[in-house]
């Protein structure tokens, strides 16, 4: 198997969780996780009979447990709080009840009192955290949110730029990647890996900065596409952008970044990119598979996620147009010619073929890249809109 030793149990649990979802194609998941079908079915059976501990190479859970005393419960609460200092009483209670069904775990209010009594939590902090009501898509992979978390220094020099990708419906963390830059080629490399494993989403929500959006000077009035977003369009993935100066559009990803900072970045010294990636992988497993999410009714994100049925094509599909359509090849400077006039689309489309189609509004023509409208021409004004 291609899994690193330090994250092997997390990877196995992620696999069996997705493979146990209704309608899951287990053999296709085995291919995406680069394991054989017999190995995949072996871990499914082990998890079915023994739960998460059975996914370890040697089980560390006794078959029988004695009854726990009140002191032991307090010790378990404090131990979990020390392991996850950013977790509150509800999360700790939910995880303890799941992991230790033989333990008489008290109510969340009692767990909170234990934390306060032992100085693990400031009573005044509770009023600062209020749940937001946000719109969410009704199924996995309808929309992914993607962004860079603000870069952080590393002890051995340089800075780490964490790239985060999450599913809007389930809050499932598709990936957290330690990058040394924020270039489009770097993002494309990581997207290729997650597309191979989880399949293709329908849309991706990004902000208005590079590498998701071209500078305003290049072309303000068209889609401001970059090489990266054109590549995603070629894969059949629409890209949408948040409102300028309105980070709430990507509220889930912004909240994810706060959690990443509180639970990992503010508590871990990053030495270099390799160690940072190991830390991200380990934390991501906890976030997806163990950490209860209040917006999900205290379920874990993996319980609501399933892989996309749209597999990643190793060869880019051809952009197709109907016979007789008015086609133009985009020049190196990002422009096309029509009726003796020059229309600017953007350098990201250089060398590509686009179609000109009549819009529903009189006097407008749509510039289309396959089924995607990437710009509009106002014929009378002679401008793109």
Number of neighbouring beta carbons within 10 Å of residue 56? 14
Are 25 and 116 found together in one domain?
A: no
Are 254 and 297 found together in one domain?
A: yes
Residue 229: inside a domain: no
C-alpha distances out from residue 48 to 13, 55, 86, Å: 11, 10, 31
pLDDT at 365: 83
Are 168 and 33 found together in one domain?
A: no
Are 148 and 261 found together in one domain?
A: yes
**340: which 2 tokens?**
């003796």
Q: How many domains does the chain have?
A: 4
Give the burial string for 132-170 (b: 16+ CB within 10 Å, else e).
Answer: eeeebbeebbebbbbbbbeebebeeeeebbbbbbbbbbb
What H or E segment, with its residue span, contains residue 365? strand 364-369
Residue 165: inside a domain: yes
pLDDT at 219: 38
Are 51 and 162 found together in one domain?
A: no
197: domain CATH number?
A: 3.30.420.10
Residue 174: inside a domain: yes
Residue 318: inside a domain: no
Are 165 and 268 found together in one domain?
A: yes
| 44 CB burial (10 A radius; 0-12, 13-18, 19+) | middle
Whether 88 has a pLDDT exceeding 90, the answer reads: no
pLDDT at 6: 47
Tens of pLDDT, residues 146-194: 999 989 999 888 999 999 999 999 999 999 999 999 999 999 999 999 9
DSSP 317: P
Residue 315: inside a domain: no
Peptide bond into 85 cis (omega under 30): no
Nearest to 103 by CA among 115, 93, 89, 116: 93
* Structure confidence at residue 68 as a pLDDT band (50, 70, 90): very low
Pairing between strand 159-167 and 152-153?
antiparallel
Residue 197: inside a domain: yes
Are 81 and 177 found together in one domain?
A: no
Number of neighbouring beta carbons within 10 Å of residue 256? 21
pLDDT at 87: 81
Are 285 and 161 found together in one domain?
A: yes
Cα gap 6→282, rounded to integer Å: 8
Are 374 and 248 found together in one domain?
A: no
* Structure confidence at residue 104 as a pLDDT band (50, 70, 90): confident
Tens of pLDDT, residues 286-339: 999 988 877 777 788 999 999 999 999 999 999 999 998 999 999 999 989 877
CA 195 to chain CA centroid, Å, is 11
Spatial CB neighbours of 3, under 8 Å, sequence gap ≥ 6: 11, 12
Are 110 and 34 found together in one domain?
A: no
DSSP 25: -
pLDDT at 295: 73
Residue 74: inside a domain: yes
| 293 CB burial (10 A radius; 0-12, 13-18, 19+) | buried
**348: which 2 tokens?**
């990201």
Average pLDDT for residues 26-54, to the nearest whole number?
90
Residue 330, domain extent: 326-384
> Tokens 């146990």 belong to which residue?
20
């Amino acid at each position: 198997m291609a899994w690193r030793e330090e994250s092997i149990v997390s990877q196995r649990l992620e696999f069996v969780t997705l493979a146990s979802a209704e309608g899951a194609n287990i053999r296709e998941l085995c291919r995406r996780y680069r394991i054989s079908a017999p190995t995949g079915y072996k871990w499914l059976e082990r998890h079915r009979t023994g739960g998460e501990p059975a996914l370890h190479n040697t089980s560390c859970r006794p078959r029988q447990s004695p009854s726990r005393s009140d002191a032991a419960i307090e010790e378990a609460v404090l131990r979990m709080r020390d392991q996850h200092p950013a977790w509150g009483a509800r999360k700790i209670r939910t995880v303890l009840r799941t992991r230790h069904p033989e333990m008489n775990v008290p109510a969340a209010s009692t767990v909170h009192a234990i934390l306060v009594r032992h100085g693990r939590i400031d009573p005044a902090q509770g009023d600062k955290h209020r749940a937001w009501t946000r719109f969410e898509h009704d199924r996995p992979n309808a929309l992914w949110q993607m962004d860079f978390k603000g870069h952080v220094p590393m002890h051995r020099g340089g800075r780490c730029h964490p790239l985060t990708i999450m599913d809007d419906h389930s809050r499932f963390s598709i990936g957290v990647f330690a990058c040394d830059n924020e270039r489009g080629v770097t993002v494309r490399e990581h997207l290729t890996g997650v597309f191979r494993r989880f399949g293709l989403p329908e849309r991706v929500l990004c902000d208005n900065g590079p590498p998701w959006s071209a500078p305003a000077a290049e072309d303000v009035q068209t889609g401001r596409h970059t090489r990266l977003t054109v590549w995603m369009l070629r894969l059949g993935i629409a890209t949408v952008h948040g409102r300028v100066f309105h980070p709430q559009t990507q509220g889930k990803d912004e909240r994810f970044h706060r959690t990443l900072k509180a639970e990992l970045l503010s508590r871990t010294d990053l030495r270099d990119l390799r160690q940072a990636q190991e830390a991200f992988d380990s934390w991501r497993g906890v976030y997806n598979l163990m950490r209860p999410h209040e917006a999900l009714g205290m379920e874990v994100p993996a319980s609501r996620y399933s892989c996309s049925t749209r597999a990643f094509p190793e060869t880019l599909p051809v952009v197709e147009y109907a016979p007789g359509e008015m086609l133009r090849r985009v020049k190196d400077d990002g422009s096309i010619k029509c009726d003796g006039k020059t229309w600017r689309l953007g350098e990201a489309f250089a060398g590509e073929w686009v179609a000109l189609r009549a819009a529903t509004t009189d006097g407008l023509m749509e510039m289309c890249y396959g089924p995607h409208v990437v710009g509009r021409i106002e014929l009378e004004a002679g401008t793109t809109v």
